Amino acid sequence: MQRLFSTFADGWPGVGLLLLRFLTAAALIYFGIIGVLTGPPMVTLALQIIGAATGLFLLVGFGTPVAGALAAMAKVWIAVERYSTQSGDLWPPVTQVVLAAALAMTGPGAWSVDARLFGRRRIDLPER
């Protein structure tokens, strides 16, 4: 399982990953809710729900590589659909693709559920 994650950075890099996770999750959840409320076609509705759900996973740092990759794929599909139909601004989904892909590649950081579940642990051996 450890191969899914690069490292569980702590200190300032960990704070940076935490802020990146929060920003990405907020954008995915916000645009997912707005996308659902505007009543888009069924495929786009499903993609917006997937984006919002993966935003919740990214918010707590659970399944970060998988959630980031899934969010990026959903938002790429939304961006391609918007480009082909000329309906709506392309920048929000494109920005969310970049943020989600960056999280999928770098990992969740030390302050996440993933770090608690799959992080390195110190094993104390009994003395002889």
Angle, CA of 84, 89 and 94, to the nearest 5°: 85
Q: Which residue has the tokens 């997937």?
A: 50
Give the pLDDT of residue 71: 96
Q: Is 2 a member of any domain?
A: no
Tell me, yes or no, whether 127 lies in a domain. no
Is 78 a member of any domain? yes
**Which domain, by its residues, includes 37?**
7-111
Domain membership of residue 119 (yes or no) is: no
Cα-atom radius of gyration of the chain, to the nearest Å?
Answer: 17
pTM of the model: 0.81
Please check whether residue 22 is in contact with residue 121, taking contact to mean a CB–CB distance below 8 angstroms: no
pLDDT at 107: 84
Mean pLDDT, 10 residues at a time, the chain of 128 residues: 61 87 94 87 89 95 93 94 84 94 89 82 71
H-assigned helices in 1-128: 11-37, 42-60, 64-85, 91-106, 113-118
Nearest CA-CA partner of 63 in 21, 15, 120:
21
pLDDT confidence of residue 38: 85
